[in-house]
Structure 1
Amino acid sequence: MSGSGAALLLPLLAAALLGAPGAAQPAGEAACRSVRAAFQVLQPGAKWVPEGPVPGTDLQVCIPKGSTCCSRKMEEKYQAAARLNMEQLLQSASMELKFLVIQNAAVFQEAFEIVVRHARNFTNSMFRTHYQSMGPRALKFVGELFTDISLYILGSDISVNDMINEFFDSLFPLVYSHLINPGFPDPSVEMTECLRAARRDLKVFGNYPKMMMTQVSKSLQATRVFLQALNLGIEVINTTDHLKFSKDCGRALLKMWYCSHCQGLLLAKPCAGYCSLVMQGCLAGVLEIHNLWREYIGSLEGLTKGMRGIYDMEHVLLSLFSVVRDAIVHAQKNEGKLSTAISRLCGHAQQRQIRSANYPEDLFIDKKVLKVTHVEQEETLSSRRRELIAKLKSHSSFYSSLPEYICNHSSAVQNDTLCWNGQEVVERYSPQTTRNGAKAQAGNHEVKMKGPEPVISQIIDKLKHINQLLRGMTLSRRKAPEKNPEEEEEESGDCDDEDDCGRGSGDGELRVRNQLRFLA
């Protein structure tokens, strides 16, 4: 066949399959039989399908210019199918992103729990090894502290300062009776309360409780906001996955995907430009999320970049045992002053007893002991966060690209030729230019926009709130107040992931693995 003959044959073939462009297509009996068969696949049972062409005067959306193959009941079923198509396409579009966020939220929550558990075990090991005389009572206070830390990460209203103050208040009576004043019997209830009350006034543990409050508070706050942000990301995606579309949107979807069937044009596909208009109208509220979603990813990236040093809970919690140890050593070094002060403050409650001349073995410990040693270079929380952000950034345009994704996956004709425009098959569709977003839909003649759904408005408000929290965390680090020399000394132990911190050698080291392996 010659090239010119083939060129003439293509329009004829298209006309046979789609109907002549630009003309109304009264349904014939043969066409209606095909429609009947196709509808039965979609909706088993043929009781709503006319035997042949009908006037269709009761139709509300697929209004015919001549006869039609559809009944009013078929129109309703087609609209339900169109809504289902839309929901499935949205869920398909978000599947990869949704899995990414859900998986990482679960992995990070589990990893944070593992860090807390390791930190508690390290602290318990320090007490068992070097302060045996304190016995299980110290372990009880350690357990309570790390339980409060876990609850705080999960959103509890408990104050970090309160939990740390309670820990040191509870610890001091043990330190006093077993280390500072060894040989004394366990203090009475009255004496215990006096010691607890005196602990802060006398600064028994120096500035270590304050340093611990600063480091734990900053690292846990960053961790908590990070988890909150991931969980909100899941909520945003779930909300947009299960939208209830407006009546006007449902009618527009029916018109775009199924009204051609009523004319017997089963092979007609919507024009890409027409599909884009319908999607921009149906998804106008969702598309309002776009800028906030991009800001969410950018703000989350800013937070993760700053989660180092005292903002890194992995570094802070796994080194917490050494802060507790140093606090106890500080109290021991000042035992003379403390004993005198306690005798003055709590003398009425103190039962005097001859002090033993022999100091217990756990009175002092070698400062070289219990250095943190990194034993393996494995995947860290920090590297996992960087990997998550890199993947999230590839989805930063997820919401603005939804109309294009749905049209591409619903067989829209990309070149807008010989395609369905909602009423008939046209040789060429001239798309109306409309920008994304609710405000831009005033001129959209395919879908009337009445404002975002309440559920979308709620999600927008939540995104604004979490973005504000994330920005606040970032700004607080940029504008950190100047430290006095004492605070500088307190925080000199901070280190980033790249630093070679805490490496040591020699006998008596507690080998700590503070780089966690992720299985997910």
Structure 2
Amino acid sequence: MKYLVVILSVAACVATVSTAAASCALSEEFFARHNISADDHNEPGSVCGGQCCGRGRETNMQHVLRQTAAQRVASATRPITELLLATKRTLQEHLTALSYQSQNKTAVLFSQLYRNHASRTHTPLGALYDDIRILLKPGLEDDIEGEDLSTIPPKDLATGTKKFFRDVFPVAYQNVLRLDTKQFTSEYEACLKDAYDAVQPFGEVPQQLGASLSRSLEAARALLQVLAVGASALAASEQVLSNSNDECSSKLLRMGGCSRCKGHDVSPCRNYCLNVARGCIGSLVVELDAPWAGYVEGVERLARADADTALRALESKVSEAIMHALENHVILEKKVRQECGPPSTLDIPNLTSPRPTPGASRRDALRAPPPDTELLQFAATLAASKKLFAGLSDRLCDEPDFANDGNDQCWNGETIGEYTKALVASASLSDQKYNPEITATSIQDSRVAALGDRLRQARQLLVSHSWSGSAPAAEAFMQGDEAGDEGSGSGRSYTDDDAAYDAEGSGEEGSGAEGIGSRTYEETTYSSPPRTASATAFRPFLPYIVSLAVISISVRFT
């Protein structure tokens, strides 16, 4: 009988060992998937215990689960970060390329009008477009964290536009008087510039153009700035999510790993996961919820292509200003004589007209399509993330490893069964005192408050550059007369051949404005720095980015 008892005891032990081995085999897939190595089972872990985890494996699993949870939750922010940075780069390249094309077109216009004197317009023309491009380069490429968003833009385009027309006035007045082979003396030219305000040779066009350029380009600069700010804030929030206190590390281990240490191949109950995730992850960044929502609303309001429209219309507005001077030459001459007296000129020695060449230089057509539709798609995609931080932690519980679909026959933190504790309403700090899974008061990272302030500052900048209702008069002025339209009242224009060239993409200069179509000119080309294909092909590029973001951004942002 004694021998029988011993035999049965040995058999029971063997059966227990076999069962334990079989049970741990169910957990090995989970350990392998998370790269949690095996260790000595003789020292049980302090949190989980269980026959499948020793102290070393438990410590390793605690680190891995915390890291995995942070990465999976932060993966919700990465597509948005990439969308913001890609949109910033693409829009910046698009507008910069467009500025060089616009500069080339305006230089062609001056070459047509002023022939041998056109070179005198190169410096003021270059200065105006340099100011434009300086506005389109805010801060560093992808991070302007140190830049004060409240500072004024580095260039005042209203002042720069006025200076441009003032510097061009002597050349334009020479053309009005048809002094093709003469040039004003330096004293008379200085007098013309000094008399610019009194004479107003170009009418209201310079003031209207300066106001519209300033509004549109400064708004574009603000949008480029805040796109980088948003991306920087999301990247910083990911760093915050990688932090955790000791209690939360233990809670994540008990929730996501202890069932495996006990040999169960069962995921945690969903409400159990939500309570732990909202308390240990969501509460770290939930204070960014309102600032982020405000930031997104601000971007939606300013995601428009006004700068594109302004750059495309600039050359035609210069043409319109010149036409104003020509059409009102009688009044203009009278005003100039009152201010500066009769013209004082010098003969230009060895001045000959350019020799005709086979085929005239072609205009640099502004082929890059306006990005209105793409910016609307971008804004709509970004709007889907408005409640990003409010629901960020819940994404963890969409992963099968971290949560079951329901609350029955799942891991409830102690055993396989039902989870009966109350579900905390949200990840907000005020709700965490009711969280049954969290006992310690969450200590807020100081970086979160700084990020919130940064997002609020970005929104304020966006709002200051946006408007609602009817467009201001200067804006209507720019949008109502696109490049290539007729000059006012004359029935002729210096850009009549634009439509034909833009439509065909090639061909010689047409007859153009009356009296200048037969002229041959040398074209100065202003080349932009090397850039990617997206700089002149905004339309095919951004939808691809948006599509990727739409796939990546969860529809759970509600």
Tell me which interval the TM-score lies in, with the shorter structure as reference length.
0.7 to 0.9
Q: Aligned in 2, Cα 1:37/1:477: closer, same or farther, shift over 3 Å?
A: closer
**Among 61, 65, 68, which residue is 1:82 paired with?**
65
- The answer for the alignment partner of 1:456 in structure 2 is 448
Is 1:468 aligned with 2:460? Answer: yes
Shift of 1:493: 5.8
SS of alignment partner, residue 540 of structure 2: coil
- Counterpart CA distance in 2 for 1:496 and 1:296 is 33
- Counterpart CA distance in 1 for 2:33 and 2:477 is 72
| Paired residue type of 1:121 | N
- Counterpart CA distance in 2 for 1:163 and 1:237 is 36
Is 1:317 aligned with 2:311? Answer: yes
The correspondence of residues 243-322 of structure 1 with structure 2, limited to 5 A, is 243=240, 244-247=242-245, 248-262=247-261, 264-281=262-279, 282-304=281-303, 307=304, 312-322=306-316
Judge which range, 216-225 or 295-304, deviates more: 295-304
The correspondence of residues 225-244 of structure 1 with structure 2, limited to 5 A, is 225-243=222-240, 244=242
Shift of 1:81: 0.6
**Among 67, 70, 74, which residue is 2:54 paired with?**
70
What runs of 5+ residues in structure 2 fail to find an aligned partner? Answer: 1-18, 139-152, 355-364, 504-535, 542-558
Contact 1:127/1:139, CA 8 A, preserved across alignment: no
Q: Aligned in 2, Cα 1:44/1:407: closer, same or farther, shift over 3 Å?
A: closer
| Paired residue type of 1:397 | K
Contact 1:32/1:51, CA 8 A, preserved across alignment: no
Shift of 1:283: 1.6
- The answer for the alignment partner of 2:165 in structure 1 is 168
Q: Aligned in 2, Cα 1:83/1:198: closer, same or farther, shift over 3 Å?
A: farther
- The answer for the alignment partner of 1:146 in structure 2 is 129
Contact 1:53/1:68, CA 8 A, preserved across alignment: no
- Counterpart CA distance in 2 for 1:443 and 1:38 is 32
**Among 473, 481, 497, which residue is 1:509 paired with?**
497
**Among 204, 207, 210, which residue is 2:204 paired with?**
207
- Counterpart CA distance in 2 for 1:280 and 1:290 is 14
Is 1:426 aligned with 2:447? Answer: no
**Among 433, 443, 451, which residue is 1:442 paired with?**
433
- Counterpart CA distance in 2 for 1:193 and 1:123 is 24
Contact 1:438/1:451, CA 8 A, preserved across alignment: no
Contact 2:300/2:379, CA 8 A, preserved across alignment: yes
Give CA-to-partner distance per residue, 1:220-254, whole Å, 9 cap, x none. Answer: 13322332333233223322333332214333322
Give CA-to-partner distance per residue, 1:265-291, whole Å, 9 cap, x none. Answer: 352322211111121122213223333
SS of alignment partner, residue 296 of structure 2: helix
- The answer for the alignment partner of 2:532 in structure 1 is none
**Among 130, 154, 158, which residue is 1:157 paired with?**
154
Q: Aligned in 2, Cα 1:174/1:435: closer, same or farther, shift over 3 Å?
A: same
| Paired residue type of 2:498 | L
- Counterpart CA distance in 2 for 1:353 and 1:144 is 27
Contact 2:208/2:477, CA 8 A, preserved across alignment: no
Contact 1:286/1:399, CA 8 A, preserved across alignment: yes
SS of alignment partner, residue 434 of structure 1: coil
- Counterpart CA distance in 2 for 1:468 and 1:159 is 20
Give CA-to-partner distance per residue, 1:467-506, whole Å, 9 cap, x none. Answer: 22333334x444877x6xxx7xx95563399xx9879999
- Counterpart CA distance in 2 for 1:406 and 1:513 is 53
SS of alignment partner, residue 76 of structure 2: helix
SS of alignment partner, residue 518 of structure 1: helix
| Paired residue type of 2:540 | L
- Counterpart CA distance in 2 for 1:99 and 1:251 is 33
Shift of 1:164: 1.0
Shift of 1:406: 1.3
Contact 1:181/1:339, CA 8 A, preserved across alignment: no
Q: Aligned in 2, Cα 1:491/1:421: closer, same or farther, shift over 3 Å?
A: closer
- The answer for the alignment partner of 1:130 in structure 2 is 113
Contact 1:172/1:196, CA 8 A, preserved across alignment: yes
Contact 1:32/1:52, CA 8 A, preserved across alignment: no
SS of alignment partner, residue 434 of structure 2: coil
| Paired residue type of 1:240 | S
SS of alignment partner, residue 231 of structure 1: helix
Contact 1:285/1:437, CA 8 A, preserved across alignment: no
Is 1:119 aligned with 2:98? Answer: no
- Counterpart CA distance in 2 for 1:230 and 1:299 is 11
SS of alignment partner, residue 52 of structure 1: coil
| Paired residue type of 1:430 | K
Contact 1:438/1:452, CA 8 A, preserved across alignment: no
- Counterpart CA distance in 2 for 1:422 and 1:137 is 81
SS of alignment partner, residue 203 of structure 2: coil
Give CA-to-partner distance per residue, 1:71-119, whole Å, 9 cap, x none. Answer: 2x44432222122202320243334434433333332222222322232
SS of alignment partner, residue 137 of structure 1: helix
Contact 1:173/1:195, CA 8 A, preserved across alignment: yes
SS of alignment partner, residue 428 of structure 1: coil
Contact 2:36/2:60, CA 8 A, preserved across alignment: no
- Counterpart CA distance in 2 for 1:324 and 1:220 is 17
The correspondence of residues 319-334 of structure 1 with structure 2, limited to 5 A, is 319-334=313-328
Contact 1:29/1:53, CA 8 A, preserved across alignment: no
Q: Aligned in 2, Cα 1:265/1:32: closer, same or farther, shift over 3 Å?
A: closer
Q: Aligned in 2, Cα 1:114/1:37: closer, same or farther, shift over 3 Å?
A: closer
The correspondence of residues 178-189 of structure 1 with structure 2, limited to 5 A, is 178-180=175-177, 182=179, 185-187=182-184, 189=186
Contact 1:269/1:419, CA 8 A, preserved across alignment: yes
Judge which range, 143-152 or 426-435, deviates more: 426-435
**Among 376, 396, 399, which residue is 1:406 paired with?**
396
- The answer for the alignment partner of 2:378 in structure 1 is 388
What runs of 5+ residues in structure 1 fail to find an aligned partner? Answer: 1-26, 362-372
TM-score (norm 1): 0.74
Contact 1:28/1:52, CA 8 A, preserved across alignment: no
Contact 1:116/1:150, CA 8 A, preserved across alignment: yes
- Counterpart CA distance in 1 for 2:244 and 2:538 is 47
Contact 1:271/1:421, CA 8 A, preserved across alignment: yes
| Paired residue type of 1:120 | Q
- Counterpart CA distance in 2 for 1:422 and 1:496 is 69
SS of alignment partner, residue 78 of structure 1: helix
| Paired residue type of 2:421 | S
SS of alignment partner, residue 158 of structure 1: coil
Contact 1:270/1:419, CA 8 A, preserved across alignment: yes
- Counterpart CA distance in 1 for 2:71 and 2:93 is 31
The correspondence of residues 353-392 of structure 1 with structure 2, limited to 5 A, is 380-392=370-382
- The answer for the alignment partner of 2:515 in structure 1 is none
**Percent of matched pairs sharing the same residue:** 23
Judge which range, 159-168 or 191-200, deviates more: 191-200
Contact 1:32/1:53, CA 8 A, preserved across alignment: no
Shift of 1:196: 2.6
Q: Aligned in 2, Cα 1:157/1:513: closer, same or farther, shift over 3 Å?
A: farther
- Counterpart CA distance in 2 for 1:516 and 1:28 is 63
- Counterpart CA distance in 1 for 2:300 and 2:486 is 27
